[in-house]
């Protein structure tokens, strides 16, 4: 199943894999815990810093 959301807590809790897109391109993907705790891209790190989580 594919789910698109900006609700970060919900996405973290229900996902097996998260795909972070920036300007229509996949910027980073992987398990929720890995992406939320150790983002590799500066854009994802900035997004998570500003997200209500």
Measured CA to CA, the distance from residue 32 to residue 8 in angstroms comes to: 10
Q: What is the pLDDT of residue 51?
A: 84
Measured CA to CA, the distance from residue 14 to residue 27 in angstroms comes to: 21
Q: What is the pLDDT of residue 3?
A: 92
Q: What is the pLDDT of residue 38?
A: 97
pLDDT of the chain, 53 residues: tens digit per residue: 999 998 889 999 999 999 999 999 999 999 999 999 999 999 999 999 988 77
Task: For 1-53, give the DSSP string.
Answer: -----S-HHHHHHH-S-EEEEETTEEEEEE-HHHHHHS--SHHHHHHHHHS--
């Amino acid at each position: 199943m594919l789910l698109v959301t900006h609700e970060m807590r919900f996405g973290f809790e229900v996902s097996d894999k998260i795909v972070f897109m920036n300007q229509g391109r996949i910027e980073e993907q992987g398990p929720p815990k890995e992406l939320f705790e150790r983002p590799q891209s500066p854009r994802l790190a900035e997004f998570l810093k500003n997200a209500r989580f």
